[in-house]
């Protein structure tokens, strides 16, 4: 799907994975403008992704929508090709696809660990491998990955063994990429949200469980996805060019 863009030059083409909802979609909304074009990705929620693209069109942005599982080795190259074919460039990447799987050792199988690793750590690696040659040609290059508090906070009654391990690997990957690309002027960072409100407020946890979680957060509330997206937008913006190799927590003090 391609949504018509208002006439004018493109200042940046931005790839956002996991853009059908949540932080990925909110980031797209925050930076949408007539001079910003998008490659929007989701694993399978095509209809929701096209709805986001329609929202961005109202701000003058052109978007193409691509579906695919990032655990599939063909998906990341397809995303890079889509940007090259549609816009002839790719300036910025936001790797926001991922999930949280609650469970300690007894609740986690090797297949759970492998699935999380493939979707998030290996998926981000593949994305960097295929997109960085394009990003490196941009006058406005950025690479931002979304991590999680789970890689740094381990509450006894709320462990996320598989996804936390995958996100910890992702954070190490981001620091390595930042080191490799710093001399070329390419900022590479991660943003690690804390407990964040979901689209539509849906959750499998009870009200009492959420109250217990909020009691563990120094600011005593859940984060809002626009607060996380606001930081990502800053990192993508002109004033984010001297920040690199960082994992920035947006968690109300949870990881203090």
State pLDDT tens for residues 12-29.
Answer: 999 999 999 999 999 999
- Dihedral pair phi/psi, residue 96, rounded to 5°: -110, 0
- Torsion angle of C-alpha atoms 149, 155, 159, 163, degrees rounded to 10: 10
pLDDT at 3: 37
pLDDT at 158: 63
pLDDT at 9: 87
Distance, CA of 41 to CA of 10 (rounded, Å)? 19
pTM for this prediction: 0.90
pLDDT at 2: 37
Positions of the chain with pLDDT lower than 50, given as ranges:
1-7, 202
For 26, the 3-state DSSP assignment is: helix
Q: Which helix (H) or strand (E) holds 232?
A: helix 225-236
Residue 176: closest CA among 239, 140, 103, 125: 125
Distance, CA of 229 to CA of 217 (rounded, Å)? 20
């Amino acid at each position: 799907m391609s949504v018509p863009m208002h006439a004018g030059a493109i200042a940046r083409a931005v790839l956002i994975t996991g853009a059908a909802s949540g932080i990925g979609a909110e980031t797209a909304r925050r930076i949408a403008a007539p001079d910003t074009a998008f490659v929007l990705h989701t694993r399978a929620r095509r209809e929701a992704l096209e709805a986001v693209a329609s929202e961005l069109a109202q701000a003058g942005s052109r978007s193409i929508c691509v579906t695919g599982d990032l655990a599939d080795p063909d998906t990341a190259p397809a995303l890079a090709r889509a940007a090259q074919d549609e816009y002839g460039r790719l300036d910025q990447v936001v790797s926001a696809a991922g999930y949280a799987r609650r469970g300690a050792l007894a609740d986690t199988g090797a297949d759970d660990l492998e699935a999380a690793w493939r979707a998030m750590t290996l998926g981000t690696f593949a994305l960097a491998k295929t997109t960085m040659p394009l990003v490196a040609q941009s006058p406005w290059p950025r690479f931002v990955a979304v991590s999680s508090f789970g890689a740094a906070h381990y509450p006894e009654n709320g462990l996320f063994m598989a996804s936390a391990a995958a996100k910890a690997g992702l954070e190490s990957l981001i620091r390595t990429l930042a080191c490799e690309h710093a001399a070329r002027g390419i900022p590479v960072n991660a943003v690690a949200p804390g407990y964040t409100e979901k689209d539509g407020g849906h959750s499998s946890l009870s009200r009492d469980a959420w109250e217990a979680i909020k009691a563990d957060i120094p600011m005593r509330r859940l984060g809002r996805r626009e607060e996380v997206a606001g930081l990502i937008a800053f990192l993508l913006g002109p004033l984010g060019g001297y920040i690199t190799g960082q994992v920035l927590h947006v968690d109300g003090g949870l990881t203090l």
